[in-house]
Structure 1
Amino acid sequence: MTFIRTLRGDIKPQDLGFTYAHEHIVCRPPYWVEKQESDLLLDDKEKSMLDVEDFKRHGGKAIVDASAVDYGRDVQAVHAISEELNIHIVGTAGFNKSFLWEASIKEELKPLIGNYQTYTEWIDTASINDLAAFVVREVEEGLEGTRYKAGQVKFGTGYNRITPLEVKTLQAVARAHHETKAPLHSHTEAGTMALEQIELLKKENVDLSFMSFGHMDRNPDPYYHGQIAKTGAYLCFDGIAKIKYAPESTRIQCILELVKKGYENQILVSGDTARKTYFKHYDYGLGLEYIIAKWVPRFIDDATKQGFDGEGLIRKFFIDNPARCFAFK
């Protein structure tokens, strides 16, 4: 049976609807808490909910919350938003990148993982199978001891390198994927190391059609994107609106280059809005409504003028592709 696992339960893929594939909704990453980086703390459930409500008002139906355990997710708050707004939210099990692991582990987690002081200590000390078992529990039983289950598993690597502990979490997440059949997602710092991740995943016998690679637009290299796409994996262009990294024209052209090569069924789009300054209701940013309300019409216009079926591509990127990518098969 094919299904998508949301925080409110399993649904049919065709019921997912218009989906943002990589966002953060309510989270307090311990690393950024300790660094007192307030901008990176999405710590007000009501303000986050107002942005999600904006997304829904424009026709949005689902959001994949990519906040893993080391990113300080607030499972109860995100589930409450899902319930109050009647919107699908997919939760994430697994891990992020290694520099975040220097932070302290909150006391509430220690009964679930052991009396480790930092994420680095936990990941270094625990066996791969122990880490995999933790990820499996989050998919099959619930995130952080709740009854709200994860709908994808995640690992991450740093900029232009993969540390031994990042290899370890990749292996653990791959094993959890094999046991649960949950789809996989990866953090690629600045869009790097996806091809190296692929080689490691192949050693773990992972079918790459279950895999989505994040932050692809941080590395706007069409050849690189093509090399990833030919493995069957999904590419997530999740930096929409972040003009400090590249103009929208660059992102759109990278996406259309993949379409020209026949990979339109492997493209996902989102915003990775992980700062207060990206949210409308925290700090007057563009907000979660920006992509669906402003970027989508711009993409349709631009793609159509270049001879593409802009509206058809939008349906693929936000409805059809997520329905396949995030399915347990």
Structure 2
Amino acid sequence: MSFIRTLHGDIHPEQLGFTYSHEHIVCRPPYWQEKGEDDLLLDDKEKSLKDVLDFAKHGGNALVDATAVDYGRDVEAVADIAKKAKIHIIGTAGFNKSFLWGAKLEEKIQKVVGPYATYYEWIETATVNELAEFVIQEVEEGLEGTSYKGGQVKFGTGYNRITPLEEKTIRAVARAHHATKAPIHSHTEAGTMALEQIEILRSEGVDLSNVSFGHMDRNPDPYYHEQIAKTGAYLCFDGIGKIKYAPESTRIHCILELVRKGYEKQILVSGDTARKSYYKHYDYGLGLEYIISKWVPRFVDEANRAGFDGEKLIYLFFVENPSRCFTFKK
């Protein structure tokens, strides 16, 4: 039986509804705490809730909280937000990327994995299979010892490189996927190294149609996107609203190029809203309402002008594709 695992239980894929596929809702990353980077600390549950309520008010049904263990999750707070906003939230087991791992291992994690000093020490010392067991436990029993289970497994790599420890976590996540059937999400720094990640996943026997690759719009290269799409994987364009990286016209062009080539059923869209300054109710940013209220109408207009059915594509990107991508295929 196929299902999607949310923080509040398993649902039928058709119940998911309009979905942002990569967000951060409440998190206090230890690395950024130690650096004093307050903008990267989403540390006020009530402010986060207000933004989630804006998303729901405009017709949003589900969010994927892509916050892994090394990025300072607050599982209880996010679960409470899901309940209060009456939406589905998918939690994330697994890891992010290696430059975050120098931070002190949080006390709540030490209780689960052992008395390691830092994330780096834990990941370096543990075997691949021990790391896989941790991820499996987070999917099948609960995130960080809570009763809220992870609905996807995640790994990440840095800019234009994969370190030995990052490869270790890729293999651990691949093995956890095989054991649980949970979908896989990849963090690609600035959209790089997806093809190299794919080779490691293939060596672990992973069917790439179970994988989504994040931050594809940070590397706006249609040829590169096509090489990833050819594997059957999903491509997540999750930088909507981040004009400092590229104008929306660039993102829309890349998405429509994939549509022209027949890959419209492998596209996901989101905002990766991970800073106070991106949130409306923290610091007057565009907020979680921006994509659904402002970007979607623009995309529909541009797609229609290009000869496509914009409304149909929006339904694919935000409803149909997420309902397939985040499904456990038992």
TM range (shorter): over 0.9
For the residues of structure 2 that align with 1:296 and 1:4, how far apart are their CA atoms? 25
For the residues of structure 2 that align with 1:241 and 1:23, how far apart are their CA atoms? 13
* Aligned residue type for 1:263: Y
> Corresponding residue for 2:310?
310
1:166 deviates by 0.1
> Corresponding residue for 2:135?
135
1:143 deviates by 0.2
Q: Deviations over 1:81-104 (max 9, x none)?
A: 011111100000000000000100
> Corresponding residue for 1:72?
72
For the residues of structure 2 that align with 1:314 and 1:291, how far apart are their CA atoms? 11
Unaligned segments of structure 1, at least 5 residues: none
Q: Deviations over 1:141-187 (max 9, x none)?
A: 00000000000000000000000000000000000000000000000
For the residues of structure 2 that align with 1:71 and 1:107, how far apart are their CA atoms? 14
> Corresponding residue for 1:218?
218
> Corresponding residue for 1:268?
268
For the residues of structure 2 that align with 1:206 and 1:123, how far apart are their CA atoms? 22
> Corresponding residue for 2:321?
321
> Corresponding residue for 1:242?
242
> Corresponding residue for 1:201?
201
> Corresponding residue for 1:280?
280
For the residues of structure 2 that align with 1:242 and 1:84, how far apart are their CA atoms? 28
- Identical aligned residues as a percent: 76
> Corresponding residue for 2:301?
301
For the residues of structure 2 that align with 1:157 and 1:164, how far apart are their CA atoms? 10
1:109 deviates by 1.4
> Corresponding residue for 1:97?
97
For the residues of structure 1 that align with 2:86 and 2:197, how far apart are their CA atoms? 36
For the residues of structure 2 that align with 1:320 and 1:111, how far apart are their CA atoms? 39
For the residues of structure 1 that align with 2:107 and 2:286, how far apart are their CA atoms? 35
* Aligned residue type for 1:86: K
> Corresponding residue for 1:25?
25
1:286 deviates by 0.3
For the residues of structure 2 that align with 1:110 and 1:193, how far apart are their CA atoms? 31
Paired positions, count: 329
1:297 deviates by 0.1
> Corresponding residue for 1:117?
117
For the residues of structure 1 that align with 2:109 and 2:207, how far apart are their CA atoms? 31
For the residues of structure 1 that align with 2:108 and 2:227, how far apart are their CA atoms? 42
- Does 1:4 pair with 2:15? no
Runs of 4+ in 1 over 2 A off after TM superposition: none
Unaligned segments of structure 2, at least 5 residues: none
For the residues of structure 2 that align with 1:108 and 1:257, how far apart are their CA atoms? 45
> Corresponding residue for 1:169?
169
For the residues of structure 1 that align with 2:320 and 2:229, how far apart are their CA atoms? 17
* Aligned residue type for 2:45: K
For the residues of structure 2 that align with 1:178 and 1:123, how far apart are their CA atoms? 20
RMSD across aligned C-alpha pairs, in angstroms?
0.3
1:111 deviates by 1.7
For the residues of structure 1 that align with 2:89 and 2:33, how far apart are their CA atoms? 25
For the residues of structure 2 that align with 1:106 and 1:185, how far apart are their CA atoms? 23
For the residues of structure 1 that align with 2:316 and 2:85, how far apart are their CA atoms? 25
For the residues of structure 1 that align with 2:108 and 2:31, how far apart are their CA atoms? 17
What TM-score, normalized to structure 2? 0.99
Q: Deviations over 1:251-296 (max 9, x none)?
A: 0000000000000000000000000000000000000000000000
> Corresponding residue for 1:106?
106
Q: Deviations over 1:43-81 (max 9, x none)?
A: 000000000000000000000000000000100000000
Q: Secondary structure at the match of 1:3?
A: strand
> Corresponding residue for 2:187?
187
For the residues of structure 1 that align with 2:269 and 2:60, how far apart are their CA atoms? 13
1:23 deviates by 0.2
> Corresponding residue for 1:52?
52
